[in-house]
Amino acid sequence: MQKFATRDSKNSTDYFYNIKADLPELPEPPLHPGEKRPINKDDLLPLFPEGFIKHETTLEEKVPIPQKVLDVLSMYRPTPLVYADGLKKYLDTPAHIFFKYEGAGPTGSHKSNTAIVQAYLAAEEGVKRMSTETGAGQWGSALSMACSSYGIDLSVFMVRISYRQKPGRRIMMEMFGADVFESPGNRTDAGKKFFAEDPEHPGSLGIAISEAIELAIKDEGTKYSLGSVLDSVLLHQTVIGQEAEKQMKEFGLEPDIIIGCVGGGSNFAGLSFPFIGKNLKENRNIKFYAVEPEVCPTMTKGELRYDFGDSSGMTPLLYMYTLGKDFVPPPIHAGGLRYHGMAPLVSHMQKKEYVDSVSFPEPDVFNAANVFLRTEGILPAPESAHAIAKVIEEAEKAKAENKEKVILFNLSGHGFFDINAYSKNNK
């Protein structure tokens, strides 16, 4: 079996795949936080560029990727699709294991895919500054890179626990020219509240989102940018699954099982939605697993209902699996998976039983990362290692059943900036 699929532009795509065009039933709409009616474009205009709002609301199946976005994406896309023969041998499994390596992007995760689109859409409308939150720092780095490509300033609110644990990410953002603030802090009303209670508050994505939104609302020249959860962000990530499908054809195989980790749901959606489209339209029978940490069990233990996307109740109400907006997850090392909610579209997929979710405890996740490093030579992001834990379980199941299953998973990022996390835990 060859090791890599071709990274030629013939395996790229020039459109985003919009699964909403193929769904028999659409998810419940986002509601205005005060008036509890479906939100409209005017509600979103103070926060987001108009082009972005179009991506959020369109029902068109194939959304064209602007040429200037393709020019930047082609720096690193298509990303590698790799046949994990080292892992296969180690597990002594008849399963074929493939991973899509999104860590090959410029800042080491899939987040560049939407960051580049969002910065471009803002620049086109003359936006001068963007504001955002970041957990582990991957999103902040991705948007810093994208803003610097299109000449936009950026303010990043970084969850305190990650700010302290991952100074490398902060330095990288600053090298791209971004201003980075520890969250919660006392720059915004939303931050002050928590900061006053506890200046060492570990922070959460929900709180950092409130801070970034407040900045955009108070300053007309600033637009807000979100790295996950929204329909448009998931849409931008579908380049992953479209490429993977073309690349797998080179191996003459099609996936039976697709696995991705879930924080807000975007990398999982990016890989799986084009394939869920096949299940819906071509009657295929691919199984999908969304994998989350046991201590932040949004899909496995959360409730499906309307809830706020942030902690202060400033965002629209989203119909999603949620642990409640006040849930502050313990400070695990997979900072990107510490979010109380789940993308409404991914939530809908579970409600309709198109996908399944599972959770793993941190020791299993670190073990999976270690096995992967030693067998495939790549240190995975702690987030991505959640997906690997499930891959190992499925590969072992295939062995027990003696079945040649084809497993495809998303290696959403590398863990080279997370090395401290591994040194403390990986005994």
Give the interface with ligand PLP as residue ranges (CB under 6 A): 109, 111, 138-139, 228, 261-268, 336-337, 381, 383-384, 412-413
In the complex, minimum distance from the CB of residue 1 to ligand PLP, in angstroms, rounded to a whole number? 26
- Provide the 8-state DSSP code for 109: B
Q: How large is the angle between the packed helices 382-401 and 362-376, nearest 10 degrees?
A: 80
In the complex, minimum distance from the CB of residue 109 to ligand PLP, in angstroms, rounded to a whole number? 4
The two tokens of residue 37 are 């009616």
In the complex, minimum distance from the CB of residue 262 to ligand PLP, in angstroms, rounded to a whole number? 5
Query: Residue 167 CB: number of other CB atoms within 10 A?
Result: 13
In the complex, minimum distance from the CB of residue 380 to ligand PLP, in angstroms, rounded to a whole number? 8
Closer residue to ligand PLP (CB): 362 or 383: 383
Which secondary-structure segment (H or E) carries 362?
helix 362-376
In the complex, minimum distance from the CB of residue 384 to ligand PLP, in angstroms, rounded to a whole number? 5
Closer residue to ligand PLP (CB): 202 or 260: 260
Closest residue by Cα to residue 382 from 358, 407, 410, 412: 412
Closer residue to ligand PLP (CB): 98 or 409: 409
In the complex, minimum distance from the CB of residue 386 to ligand PLP, in angstroms, rounded to a whole number? 8
In the complex, minimum distance from the CB of residue 128 to ligand PLP, in angstroms, rounded to a whole number? 26
Closer residue to ligand PLP (CB): 133 or 383: 383
The two tokens of residue 63 are 């959304």
Closer residue to ligand PLP (CB): 16 or 139: 139
The two tokens of residue 244 are 């993977």
263, 136 contact by CB (below 8 A):
no
CA distance 33 to 39: 9
Closer residue to ligand PLP (CB): 12 or 109: 109
Q: Please, which contacts does 322-329 make with residues 24 or more away whose CB atoms are closer than 8 Å?
A: 322/298, 323/296, 323/297, 323/298, 325/206, 327/206, 327/296, 328/202, 328/204, 328/206, 329/204, 329/293, 329/295, 329/296
In the complex, minimum distance from the CB of residue 104 to ligand PLP, in angstroms, rounded to a whole number? 12
Closer residue to ligand PLP (CB): 263 or 309: 263
Q: SS3 for 360?
A: strand
Closer residue to ligand PLP (CB): 255 or 335: 335
Compute CA distances 348 → 50, 53, 282, 356, whole Å. 25, 20, 20, 11
Residues paired with 271 in a beta bridge: none
Tell me which residue has its CB nearest to ligand PLP: 413
